[in-house]
Each structure stands twice: as C-alpha cells, then as structure tokens.
Structure 1
Amino acid sequence: MSDKEQNILTLVAGQAAILGKCKSAFCHAVKEKFNCTAILHNVEEAGSFGRNTSGDWSAEMRYSTKLSSRVEVSVWKDDLTRHKVDAVVNAANEKLNHGGGLAQALSECGGPMIQKWSDDIIQQYGRVKTGEAVLTSAGKLPCKHIIHAVGPKVSQSPSQKEVDQATPLLSNTVISILQIVVSQNITSVAIPALSSGLFNFPRDCCADIIVNTIKKFYENGGFRGENVEIHLVNNDEPTVQEMERATRTILYPTSTSASYSGAVKGQNQTMTSSSCSSLRFENITLHLKKGSIEEERVDVIVNTIAPNCDLSQGLISRAILMKAGNKIQDEINKKKHTTPSLARVNLYATNGYNLKCSAVFHTVCTHRSESKAEQILYKVIWDSLKKAASDYKSISFPAIGTGNLGFKKGEVAKIMIDAVEEFAKRNTKKKLDVNLVVFPEDNGMMEAFGNEMKKRKGEAMSPEVRNYMTSFGSAAKETTADEKPTVELIPRDSTEALREAKSWTFNMLVPSNNMIIKNNHVIYLDQRDHKNLLTLQTKFHVHIKEFFRNGNGGIIITGNPSDVSCAAIEVESMLCKAQEDFTQAEERDILYSVVRWSCKDVPWIQTPEISAVLEKAYLAGHENHVVNNHKVNLMSKSLVDVYGKSRNVERTCLLAPFKSFNDSFYKRVPVTSNDIEKEARNATDAFGLTIVKMEKLENIVLKQLFEMNRQRVTDKPKRLYQRVSAQFCDLICRVGFQKEFAPPAEQKYGSGIYFSSTVDGALKLWNEQEHEQYIYIIQAQVLTGRNTIGSPQLILPPPLRADPLDRYDSLSDMGQTHIIFSGQQALPEYLIIYARYAM
C-alpha cells in the first residue's frame, strides 16, 4: 500500500477506562509486538501492574526527529521521576546536595541511597565543577542510572552579558552528559531544561543551547555510531514549548539555519528575530526556504500536473519526473485509466520512488483566467494538508501557480498561507511541518512569502479566507475535540507495523467475556509470572487458564468483558517480556557459537553472557564497554580492572573472521527481486493476494552456523517457506527459526520447525492467523538432507540404523511439508509481505 494509515485511534469511554488501568502494559506490548510507540492522550492513569513492563504510557511526545538512523531526538511533556529511559539527568549543584527542585523530586522518588551515593562521590573526589557531570545508580526510579549534571547559575534577571558568559558552561554540561551516555553504552537518556529552574537561566536560550550542543556533538562524531535516544523532558508547558520550538528549528532536516530568539507564544506568532523563515499555527509549523522541491527530504512533496497527466510538462513536474524515474509516470498512467477524469479529483498520491520522500501528491489546478481559479488553488492546498496530516508528519510545497497557471506571486503567497493558517485552526490535533520551497533565484517569490508571513504576527483570519471557505463548507466543518481520549501510534519501521498495531489494539478492546492469547512462550513464564497471573485473577475478577496442546500454547481469560480486556493486555505484556528474554538468550548462544572474548586471569569474561555483551558492543562500534566495574577497550583489546591494572583481551572467531554491517550482525533491507517475486506470485491469484513489500534478511552469525551444518548434510539446501506472525519477523532475522515462533495449527509430523515447499502450502499449513492485516512469508534455505515420514510423537528424527546417534536430518509428510529440529539448519533469506485484495 502506498498510503500510510492514520495513526490516531479515538477511544470511547469504556475503552479509555480499560487503558487507564493498564497503560504501561499496553504501551510495552505495542512496542515489543510491532515496534511502535504508543502515546495515550486524555486517558486517566488508574495504576499499573506486571512484570518489568516499560513504555511511554502517560507521557506526551510533542516532536521527534532523527539526526541519523541511530540518533533520535524527541521532545516530551512528562514527569521526569517516572519517565522510562535508561538514564535521567538531574539538574544538580556542585555539592550534589539534592535539597530542592528537580533534584529533590528525583532523590525522594529514588530513595535515600541516591543522596548517599552522591555524598560518597563528593567525599572521594570533591565538588563537581560547573559544566561537569557524574553517574550514579537510580535507586527506585524506573531507570538504570542518574546523571547528575551541574549547569551554570545566573541572577534572577540576568543581563545579556551574564547569559553570554554562562552559555559555554551550559554547553559543556550537555557535552559531559552525552560523553557519559556514550562511554557507558546508555541507549536512552532524558534531559531536562538544565539551569532554567532554580538557576534562573532564560528558557529560550537554554533550549537553544541544549539543542545546538546536541547537534554539534553529533556533527563532530561524538555518538560514534551508537544507538541513542535523547528525550528532552519537562513537565511545565512553557518549557516544553521552548524545547519543541528549538528542536524543530535547529534539528529539522529541511529547515533553514535561522533560529528563534524567544518563545513561540499564542496561536499565530512568528520568530522574534529579524528572520521570518518559520511561523507557528497551532500544531502546524510553517517553514520558508530556498531549494529544489525534488531534493526535499520530507514525507511528502507536492507536484502540479497537467490534466493529461504528462509529468514532462512544466518545470517542477519535469524535475520530479527526472529525479523519481519513469515508474512514477507509469503509476500516474495506470490511475488515469481507472479514474474518469483525474482533474476532478484534484489530488492523487504516488510513491516517491527515487525521490527522498515517501509519497508525491500530484495536484491539478486551473489557469488564473478560469472561473473559481483562486478557490481551486486554495482547495488544492487544503486537500494536500488534510491528506498529509492524516498519514504523515512533514510536507513540502513549491510555489504553486506562478508558472504556466498565470498567478501573481503575491496572490500565490496569500492563498497558500491563508490555507495553511485556516487548516491549522480547524485541525488542532494534527501535528505537521509544512515547507514552502522557493527556487533559489526567485527572490520575488521569497519576498512575497516573507511579507505574508510577517503579516501573520498577531493577525486574525482575513475576510478573503472566509470567502475561500464558502466554496468548501465540508472541509471547514472538520474539527477534532481536544478532550477526546485517543491513542497515538508511532511506527518505528513501517506502515504495515502501524496497521497491525491498530488492528491488535481494536481486537483487545472489543468487548468479550472470553479471550484466547496464543503464544508458545507461555512455557517460559517463571514462578514470579505465575504468581502475577494469580494476582491478575484477583485484581480483575477473571479466570485465567494456561494451555499447551498439539504444539500450541497460550492463555485463556474469561470474565466480565472490560475486565477480560484489562487482564489480556497485562498478559500480552508479560508474554512479550518472556519472549524477549528467550530471544536474548538465543542471541547470546548463537554469538557464543561463533566468537569468544577472553582475558587471562579474568575467567568470567568468557561466559556466554559477558562474551555476547562484549561482541554486540564491538559490532556496534563502541570503543569502550564497562562490565562488572571493569573497563574493556574493544578497539585496543585491553581491560582495566577496579584496581587500575591492565590486561590483554582476546576476540577469537571460531569459524571464520567477520565484521559487522549496519553496526550489528543482522539487518533487513528492502529489495525488488524479479526471481523471488515470480516464484512468490504463484500464490497471489489462488488466495487473492498482492505483494506489498519484500525485504532481504541478512545475519552474519546465522550464515556461519548454516554453512557449518551445510558441510555435514550431504544434499543441497531446499528453498522453503514459513508463514509467521507480524511480531516474529524481526526476531527470526535476529536469531533464526525457532519452533516457538511459528507452530502450525497441528504438529502432525513431529515437534519441530515446520516449512512448506510452496507459498500456497505455507498458507494452508498456517491458517489461524486471519486476524492479522497482512500475511508474512519468510523464504529460507533449509538443509533437509536425509528425511523420512514424520509422526506426532517425534521430538527428534528417528535413528537411521541401530546407532542412536546416527539420525535422519529431517522429517516430512512425503509432500510439501518439511520439519527440522535445529534452527541452524535453516537460513532466513527474504521476507515477503502480502495484502489481501479486499484491504
């Protein structure tokens, strides 16, 4: 599917009440199952329950952007004492005396040990200087660490000179925080507006300095390829707005270099500096910039096309065609044959192809001399914004109408900005970044847009806007109530994951007095989990029963419908934790099978757990890793113990030397392979399916183990297929095939890992996943070797002869179904995602 699903789910009162009772568990389950962040708006917290669940439950994320695929910066409104990250930053003083403000709140929530640990640091090392930071454990806080950072203090009404003198110290404080994050392998950190509270630093300057320092630290290579999430977290609205403003203007990937010098206040306010390159309307931020529309790095770019759909007509359309490639013209042509008149629909979306965007909105306008030309241009802008706000987060417009359509520059500027302003007022829940992109040499257009943006400061809606809206009354009536409870789902990977998360959420909230959760990881629940299940029964007045039959396990919950939903969400979160624990153990074992870290006189380094931790840090490009208070330099292969003594460390590859790709040992890469598509397409007509995406799955470690087993098995590997649930696609890429991930409806031929020789066969073998929105098929190379017919009671292949150690390599039904008993006999190669025609 070319369009993304809308990511907001509006809740009725009963659904909001359910999620209010299990917010944390819900967000944790959504994150683990679908790699989506769930943010709940206007949902009252009613307590949480469960096993080590984590999520962004009642926090509100205002903005998020990525500096790279591995470094993400986001702005949050939340209480730092309950914000769930690896480390939170405490705005401390030089004595680490946590007696007021944020420091006191963190110390009280974390327990008395936090002050004791801080006192120990002061006693051993002396005061922490302004601009420096130190690390302690977090006590009872929902994080692992506290970074105590000392920012500069200024007077209550500081002069500009005083602020300028303190600026380098605040920047040094942020650098100290980030250096600790990198050196200690912290993957997520929450930073407040340091020095802006009791230390009196102006909010706007504080926000600018923090964000600029993060940007420079990144540009100077400070993160060294690590995965880091930086949360800028505050719980007061003025500071949150300042952080959002600074982040949008300084880190926004397509914005100009201009920055605010003051707060964005009210509904319509431009920057207080002399530049007028950004303007805020409600939840929409408008940016003016010079550039080429076809080079934009945004979710959507807008194109104006001729009624005959020929993209080679017009300068902008031709530039987009040349950059995107002929496939974009082909997609337009196909739509032309299925739509009677493309001009009547005004807007049609295609894929971005070779462009740096996800989608292109092609619009059809009329010449200025024709009837209602201004209204049509206005509606084109409105419709583009409406579609973008539903599905995307950023959109770029060229100056529409100033070329062959005959509009004057001032007219275009007024109509386009009027449309943005009015749309923002009537869609206050839709956050969107809007760019007006002007050709670099067109100074007249830049001046026209700039003048219109300057007029908007403090201005009410003009009469002309009202006149435009009389022609499009239906659009004007679209509103969103501020107080409605909603769930916002933010996918980290794909549209497919978002759709699955929405479907799962809907199913969990549908009233039912009986709910069955199927997940074979139920067998890995420990004693504490079973105790929690008993507590859930009492808390929600439900009956919970575990089952495992015919190779399929799970949990059945019965009771009052709303209570069943609450308990089911908690159970899903519990199972996700067990599933991740299982996967991490498998990941540890497969890494230990191909590489070992060791150190003379430090035997615990060579344990599977520690060796795997060091290997993952090494592959991620970390220079140092601290484990059991020993600092390991992964590049120089040395270790410094708690007494300062240095020793050599060895990394031994047991099979063949290898290095990481993509800072890891596995990756998923989108592909278009004609060979694979042709074979996979055999199933499309018979089952009413269409292929929407294909990914190549690569794993260095699994490949080495597979090649080792290939030498043992005489026959060539077979190309086989397995149907999996959405939540297991990434896990299979990480640790290979496991029987817990994809048990068939019935294990007729043994308790092993099942495959089919065709996609058709896989769809028949796994026929109980109809609740999912898409169909996920993994193609693999499988070593079936010597095989014999299977039977239900077999947990291993039978012996070939009298020697019990000499066994068949696999089982089968002597048809399409094949069963192996070791995941190392199969190598995942491609993930094929199908959609049903009816979707």
Structure 2
Amino acid sequence: VSKAILDSAGAAVQMECAQIVNSPGYQPRLMIMTSAGMLPSRQIIHVVGQRDPPKIQDLVYAVLQFCEEHKFNSVAFPALGTGQGGASPSAVADAMVEAVVEFVRKKHPKFVCSVKILIFQAVMMTEFHKSMKKREGEEVEEKSILTKIKSSITSLFGLGEERPSTSGLVLEKEEFEPTVFQLCADNEKAVSQAKKRIKELIVAEQAEKTITDQYITQLSQADVDQLRDLQKKLTVSIRLDKGQGGQEPRIHIEGLTRDVFTAESAVRDIIRKVERMEHQRSKALLVSGLVEWQFQIRSGMMVPFDMYTNLSLEEALERKQRVTISISNERYDADVMLRKAVSVNGRKQVELLRKDLKDDAALPSHWDDMKGDILKLFPLAAGSKEYNDVETEFQKTGLSANIISIERVQNTTLWQSYQLMKKQLEVKNKHTNNEKRLFHGTGAKSIDLINKQGFNRSYAGTQVGAKCGNGSYFAVDPAYSAQGYARPDISGHKRMYLARVLVGDFTQGRAGMIVPPAKGSRSASDLYDSVVDNTANPTMFIIFSDIQAYPEYLITFT
C-alpha cells in the first residue's frame, strides 16, 4: 500500500519524506505527515507498519486523535497489516473497529466525522462486515459512525444481506441551510408583490422529470450507486421506484432545472446500458443452446468457452471475421474460419472447435443444401407449390403488384435461435398459438443486414414513426407494407419480407415503449411478448427482441 500511495502521489512526496527523516534532530516517531502530492486528498499520514492487532488498534486510535487535533473531517485507512504483514483479517477488523468506537466514546470528536476503511479483497470485506455487525447497537453515538462505515463498505461491494431495497428508495441527499429573505417596504402591497415575484423565480428554477422504463427493475447495486454519485454532483433529488402492485417502474428526478435535465440524460444512459447488457445476456444464452465453441488445452481436452465468448465467436463466424478473445486471462486473436487462436504476443496457439447443438432446432426439410455456409438465399421456381403459397399470401388482400422474384432466406443461426425462442414462449405462455406470418416492407439498403442479423431495431421499423413503441413493425396486410415502407431502388424495384413472427401474448402499444409492459402484478419481469396498434383488430404487431422474427421469404416486386 505504501508503494502504491507513493507511486501515485509522485516524487515530490518521497522527497518530502526524506527531508523530514534526514532533518537535524529528527527523532523516530509513530507517524509523520506530508502533503498529498498528486493525490486528491489534503495530506498523507505515513505510519510504521504493524502486524500485531493490539498495536494496530493503538495505531488507528493515534491516527484518529492526530486527525482531530489537525481539524481533519475525514480519514481513510487500508486494512492494516493484512497484506505482507500476514495479520488475521478477522483480528485486524475487530482491532480497527474497536479503535474507532473507543475514539468516539472517549474523545467525542468535533471535526472527524467520516472514517473509511478501504478493502479490495472480497473475502476480507466479509470479516470487516462481521466485526461491525457485532458492535452495532452498543451505543447510540457508536452506532451512528459504525452505520456510516458499514454502508460505505456495503455500497462498494454489494453485500446481499445489507443491500437496501430499491423499491421506493429515496437516495440520501445532503441538506442545505435555508436562505432567508427579509422584505421591507412602505406598504403591505409592495411586500406581497415582492414576495410573489421571489416565489415565481424560485419555481421557475425548479423542474421535475419522471422516467418510466421496464429496465429499471434490472438496475444493479452498482447502477444504484451511480445514481447516488449523480445526486451528489448535481442539485437534484432522485427517487427510485421499481414498481409493485402492477405499477410501472420509474425514476423521479427533481431539483434545479439545468441539473434535472443533465441528470435525466445520465439516468437514461444508465438504463440503456442495462438494456444492452440484458439483450446481450439473452442472446448469449440462446446461442449457447445452439452452438458450443471450445478450445484445446495442453492435455488435449476440449474446454467450452463462457457464453459471452461463445457468442462473440459465433458472430465472428457469421461475419467471416477475426475476433479478439480471452483464454486463461490472456488475449488471443481468433481465426474462426481456420478454427485456431494465436496469443497476442504470438507465442501460443490453441485449436478451436465448434460443436453444433441443433438437435432441438433442426433445419426445415425443404431447405436446400447450405454446403457449409451459415447464410444463403435460394430463388423459388415460379409455379412451384412453395412459390404459389407465398404469392397467395402476398396477394390475399388484392395487392396489385408484379412479382419479380421470391427468395427463401436460409440462415441457420437465425433459424435455430428463432426456434429456441418459440419453444420458450410455448413453455411460458402454456400454449402453441404464438406464431404469425406477417409482412415487413423495407428499403434495399437494409436487405443484407436483415438477412444476416434479423430484424434489428436499429434499422427496422423506424420509418413507422414509432407510434406504438420503439420496436420492429410487421403488418397483417401486405398492401400496408407496400405503401411507402417498401421503398423502391433506382430501378423501381421494391422489397418486402414474408416473415415468421412470434407475437405470443400481446397488448396495446404506445409511443416511447422499448419493451412490452408487464402482464400483471405478480412479477414485473413477466412481460407481454409483443404489442399491437389495436387489440380488438390488430393491423400491426411490434416486437422488441431481435430473435422473435425470422425473415423467411424476400419478395422483390414493382
């Protein structure tokens, strides 16, 4: 710890130490104080390392007394003696906590009001937590300072049993002294007018914002800590309500107008990060049920990758690109086409294996031979049964159009992911009526992306204006998709997909939705599968998960 502090503080602090100990008449002492150099603290107190818990207790007490004498408000300790000193973390925890309690009891400090014990070993943190739990409640004044230390450690490491409930959580905010206006005037009317104007100015500087989003229920303790940090930096109050009893989860922000808008932007960034992580987790989980990538270790055994690396390798294979991965905490450049990975320094090479787990998501029997490819488009022969079936669907509402071609999109990864999602919906919804064949018109520039990755919301459905939510839109009537959404290319050719869509259980959509709403009050995570423009007679279905639709046929027409 001493080396880390000195390295970060810079050479000036080391020189200052040397000057103190080499000064004439210097006598060895328990501690010396220097400036903080490049560190953000005011001072550094350098102490003689101890490994005996009673001596550590005396040392902590002496440092606290020293801080009080120098009118310091806060002090931060490492877990003294638990590193190279080899002292027992449990004994050190008891000693340090006892020193703090003794200092509060005997000295009744006026200046020192914040004591932090910084621990970065998760196992050791448990020992300090146990020690503080033992002392909790012994005396009112002791309890207040112990609670502060305990809550600091809890927020850093997210102890499950000490984690505060975030349903209706009001994040702690510093209280400010009120400003007092004394008004003097010749008459009561002038005083009233001045008072009214002051109130109007105060109100004008206040703002409130409420953010409603299903992903608020997925906020982690680290995300909540980010909200606390945000509240400390800005003049705002943040209230987090994860939603109970059928209520939608929300975050309420109020305070100075400029800070409320800054806070709102930052909060939405946090929620979007949570959304991306949740989508990535769901996608990785689905792919792990279809494909297992493995690497060979020295013994010759093949070891499976974690599900996120598994997803990265599979996506790299789809794009026919290389990807950087981690094996045993070392970075490797993986060539998925050649099934090998080479360490970044070029000294190691491991073999890769892709194991297909598609038994439960077999490819359709009428598909053509892929010849080892993941994606291929096959034109249907005009007059064939398959061609006629698609043509009938396309013209079922009297759409007058000249079909140029119908192509079957064969993407093995998309199909298998779609089938796995279909099975999950059947289990979740307890019925098999989850799938519909719907239409999606689009421009020529989106075709390659949709064929490779499916109906990603970043390029699918935006032209509709998101009137029912920010998802991918599919029409019941092909004529609707042909009107404006199937944009012609320079040759006048338009494009539309006949897609398989897992609409599942659906409800009414509305602008701004990024996920479907919860079904009821039993669980905030039990959501509808899609939303519609009209629940009585849907003409449009909107999905929010990219693997809920498969682009089965691409129809080119004029």
The alignment's TM-score, normalised by the length of structure 1, stands at 0.26
Pick the structure with greater CA Rg.
Answer: 2
Structure having greater relative contact order (Cα 8 Å, sep ≥ 6) = 1
The alignment's TM-score, normalised by the length of structure 2, stands at 0.37
